[in-house]
Chains A and B, each alone.
Chain A
């Protein structure tokens, strides 16, 4: 396989969301559409779509630290989800070389009634580790979270800060080639946050590429060597942060 230095190449990515209002989403409209000809049918056919990404193209090379900026609703999170492989683009080509770690919603798959340890297992598996591989990591993750005996208690009993610590410890336990982040993860009290930042720095240093969406120009200029500005789903400009 011809593998250049690029880890992600995207060509003309288009993502469209169908907008189903509560009424639109129902079978009624579709069935009525089949049986009647009037305005309702028109409704069902001409459904409103929102173009969340509109012809985005870029190449990300090994070593790139890319900051995604743009207003709310400009398509940053959608783009990250496309890169994570969750949303498949309607049009366009996307190639990703390497293992992707998605830190978009670090509380994903948390089960409030399960214990801390069980949640570590659930989450790690969802991130792509095999159950055997996972068993070796659980201790390390538990230790990092500093939750001690709480790990044997249901997550429901945790404070919000403790839940975040656990989620953070798990999410950042897997090394990956490509890291996707939606804003910098900041967790817990000052002391833990410092430790967390160090860990994030470490996994970023190990990764080949980082793509982070942020509203903070300082963060982007500190962290990134490339900036991409999105507006209304279009790639407006590339800039040096």
Chain B
């Protein structure tokens, strides 16, 4: 007999036929899929919680989340000036490149950092009420998307000064951001589960992310490596492709097909991993907290 789980967080649960059942031979897979489905569907809840997280983080500061914008602006300003001179690149080439790169990178690296603690940070909730795990991950991704939007403000003046004006390529930014968010979701589920179980993984992730930052062409142009016949260092780096699918359309350069191919492949493989982990360990997560 197929039984639908009630949506764990619902308004309509007041009806008395809301049933919670475990141990009746429901397949682990259908439960995992149900977790993802009801987690995503509760968008009004994770949107509100994620927004609350941002408000709370900047509660007592006057400028609030605009601090993010300011610190990113300073960072990009200094980088454009110093590294532009170091690499002997004209500022109208380097500033937009590094500006967009940093903003996208910040988004990706924050997603990875917070993915590790996505369940650990909501221990009290996970241990007390039945809420889809995916909901916590959605909250985390949404929160970081809002932060990203604040950071992205920095790009606007750079674009107005150095950009190529409005062009159709800019529309490609939307699917690119969606792709990053989708990857943030699977990373949140997979890393969230792994890090809850093995508490050594978060520092490893932090370290890796830092290393990858230097290996990825964000502060330096990929052409520098191809001039030395090291193109593969860039092509084999999936992070480069994630940055590139956003950066290229903004800079008005064509997005290499390879980048979208890699991003698509990572998304598919990543979701398969996340699904497998969720299927096997979803019900164990509260015990590990």
A residues touching B (Cβ–Cβ < 8 Å)? 1, 3, 11, 17-18, 20, 25-28, 30, 81, 84-89, 91-100, 102, 104-105, 108-109, 111, 113-114, 118, 121-122, 125-133, 154, 175, 177, 208
Binary flags per residue of B123-134, CB closer than 8 Å to A gives 1, else 0: 011111111000
- Please report the C-alpha to C-alpha distance between residue A96 and residue B199 in the assembled complex, in whole angstroms: 34
Contact yes or no, A27 B19, CB < 8 A: no
Q: Is the CB of A96 within 8 A of B11?
A: no
Contacts across chains A and B counted by CB atoms under 8 Å: 130
Give the residues in chain A near B130, CB-CB below 8 Å.
84-86
Instruction: Please give me the 5 A-B residue pairs with the lowest Cβ-Cβ distance, nearest first.
Output: A85-B130, A130-B11, A93-B23, A88-B283, A96-B20
Give, as a whole number of angstroms, the nearest-CB distance from A75 to chain B: 14
| Cβ contact of B200, chosen from A26, A94, A118, cutoff 8 A | A26
Question: What 0/1 readout, one digit per residue, does chain B (253-289) give for beta carbons within 8 Å of chain A?
Answer: 0000000000000000000000000000001001110
Interface: B13 (CB within 8 A): yes
Contact of A118 with B52 in the complex, beta carbons under 8 Å: yes
Q: How far is the CA of A86 from the CA of B124 in the complex (A)?
A: 10
Contact check: which of B9, B22, B198 meets A88 at CB < 8 Å?
Answer: B22
| Selected A-B contacts with CB under 8 Å, 26 pairs | A1-B19, A18-B287, A20-B288, A25-B197, A25-B198, A26-B198, A26-B200, A84-B129, A87-B286, A93-B21, A93-B22, A94-B20, A98-B16, A99-B13, A99-B14, A99-B18, A108-B128, A113-B56, A118-B55, A122-B49, A126-B131, A128-B8, A130-B44, A175-B14, A177-B16, A208-B16
In the docked arrangement, what's the CA distance between A127 and B55, Å? 21
CA distance A33 to B53 in the complex (A): 40
Q: How far is the CA of A97 from the CA of B129 in the complex (A)?
A: 16
Q: Could you tell me the distance in whole angstroms from the C-beta of A174 to the nearest C-beta in chain B?
A: 9
Contact A86 B48 (CB under 8 A): no
**Known contacts A86-B127, A102-B129, A127-B129, then 17 further A-B pairs from the complex at CB < 8 Å, ordered by chain A residue:** A1-B17, A11-B23, A25-B198, A26-B198, A26-B199, A26-B200, A27-B201, A85-B129, A85-B130, A93-B21, A93-B23, A105-B124, A105-B128, A109-B125, A114-B59, A130-B45, A133-B11
B91-106: which have CB < 8 Å to A? none
Q: Is the CB of B23 within 8 A of A89?
A: yes
- Complex Cα distance A128/B125, Å? 12
A208 CB → nearest B CB, Å: 8
Cβ of B24 within 8 Å of any chain A Cβ, yes or no, is yes
Closest B residue to A49 by CB, please name it.
Answer: B287
Give the distance to chain A from B182, nearest Cβ to Cβ, in Å: 24
Could you tell me the distance between the alpha carbons of A114 and B127 in the complex, rounded to whole angstroms?
Answer: 22
CA distance A104 to B128 in the complex (A): 7
CB of B10 closer than 8 Å to a CB of A: yes
Which residues of B sit under 8 angstroms from A113, Cβ to Cβ? Answer: 56, 59-60
* Set B17, B52, B60, B126: member contacting A3, Cβ < 8 A: B17
A-contacting residues, B172-215, CB 8 Å: 197-201, 204
A1–B19 CA distance with the chains assembled, in angstroms: 11
Of all chain A residues, the one with the shortest Cβ separation from B44 is A131
B200 and A131 form a contact (CB under 8 A): no
Q: How far is the CA of A113 from the CA of B198 in the complex (A)?
A: 30
* CB <8 Å contact, A154 and B59: yes
Q: Which single member of A81, A97, A208 contacts B19 (CB below 8 Å)?
A: A97
Contacts of A118 in B (CB 8 A): 52, 55
Q: Choose from B10, B60, B199, B204 the contact partner of A25 (Cβ within 8 Å).
A: B199
Residues of A within 8 A of B49 (CB): 122, 125
Contact A131 B48 (CB under 8 A): yes
B170 to chain A minimum Cβ distance, whole angstroms, is 33
B22 touches A86 (CB 8 A): no
For the complex, give the distance between the alpha carbons of A30 and B128 in Å: 29
Q: Which residues of A contact B8 (CB under 8 A)?
A: 85, 128
